[in-house]
Amino acid sequence: MTATAPRTTTRRSTSDAGPGDAVGTGHAACHHGEILQGVFLDERGRPCQALVTLPMNGPGSTAHFTLRPGTPPDDVRVTPAGRTKARAAAVLALRECAARLSAAPCGGVLTLTGDIPVGLGMGSSTSDVIATVRAVADAWGVRLAPRTIAGLAVRAEGASDPLMLAPGPPLLFAQREGRTLEALGPALPPAVVLGCALGGGAPVDTLALPAPAYDARDLDTYEHLRRMLRRAVSDGDSALLGRVGTASARLGQRRLTHGEFPVLTRIADRAGAVGVQIAHSGNVAGVLFDPRPPGLNARLRRCARDLEREGITPTRVFTTHPSPNSPISPKSHHPTPSEDSSRGRAHLGSHRPAGPDTSRRRTRLPAV
């Protein structure tokens, strides 16, 4: 691929950049866990781990990268310290971009800011990695295709959510291979999501979890859920979307074992929700509502109150399918998956927090 105009910010000098240095910026949004995750057949009939994320704009990672010509390509300083996956992504992206320009690779300085809670299964590390790759490419003046970014992300962290392809249609994405198995349709069915944090909002150490183990019966089950989700997307069937999310979350309990899962599903049923979804690598969860029947606001309020009574912290309300006729006021919800957060203001306010506010005082949700 040849060099083109930068994706986001043109090369410029700053007070921190020395003579001849170039600075690039990149941004990536997060997601709200998965609607479906398991094992599926790829185009060659080979079993392959894959997932369908629940997109959500709002929180995200922003990366600023300053090239330091003449330094070794693995000499990358990162702020905050400890973002080892982002650092690995920067080194890989530096070599990739330099090779495309037939230039000598060099090191640089990476600064990450954002507001994605860590360890809840919202794609915080992938967001860091993608923002970093975009910032490095921007500093070089190179545009990288999403599939190239996906390959670099998988090499940097071992697996990657499909955030480099957002916003876009729902995808069944092979996270350990960085490729799409299937585009399921134009958009997820309309759903309003009441987000919450399980496990007291504590981060989950995914490396300490048992590795997923699937057998032939699991493959049949997940392929059935794949067909259901495909039909839900094609028909705009919110109830079927909820059934898929709940079934996938229930299967995921074999690995995550959330003690609140029975309570969460019981509250969802009582509130008239269509289902639930839970991140397969963390404690973030959502109760899914069809926005079209009357009384949505009352159901959301009741559900939030019931969650709090059970010690489950409500966190946010957002929708998968914004429209002019949405029952949620534009002033009252977080940005939605159809809004391209990369075109809005970057999240520059603070370093990413370690987790949500999980105090037992009443959570202030957007008015609905």
Q: What is the pLDDT of residues 138-179, one digit of tens each?
A: 999 999 999 999 999 999 998 899 999 988 899 999 999 999
Confidence band, pLDDT 50/70/90 cuts, at residue 208: low
Confidence band, pLDDT 50/70/90 cuts, at residue 120: confident
pLDDT (tens digit, 9 = 90+) per residue, 340-354?
A: 332 222 222 334 444
The pLDDT, as a whole number, for residue 166 is 84
Residue 337 tokens, joined: 């998956």
Asked if the peptide bond before residue 167 counts as cis, ω within 30 degrees of 0, the response is yes
Please report, for the chain, the start and end positions of each structural domain, with discontinuous segments joined by +.
Answer: 23-343
Residue 233 tokens, joined: 């997307």
Spell 129-143 as b/e; 16+ CB within 10 A means b: bbbbbbbbbbbbbbb
Answer for the pair 215, 245: CB distance below 8 angstroms, yes or no: no
User: Has residue 41 got a pLDDT over 60?
Assistant: yes
The pLDDT, as a whole number, for residue 209 is 66
Answer for the pair 113, 27: CB distance below 8 angstroms, yes or no: no
In the numeric block, the tokens 């909820």 are attached to: 242
Residue 219 backbone dihedrals phi, psi, to 5 degrees? -60, -45
272: left (phi over 0), alpha (psi -120 to 50) or beta: left
How many CA atoms, within 13 angstroms, populate the side-chain half-sphere of residue 114?
A: 35
User: Percent of the chain beyond pLDDT 90?
Assistant: 64
The correct answer on CATH 1.10.10.200 for the domain covering 23-343 is no
Element housing 347 (H / E): none
Q: Helix axis angle, 124-140 relative to 146-157, nearest 10°?
A: 120
| Other residues' Cβ atoms within 10 Å of the Cβ of residue 203 | 16
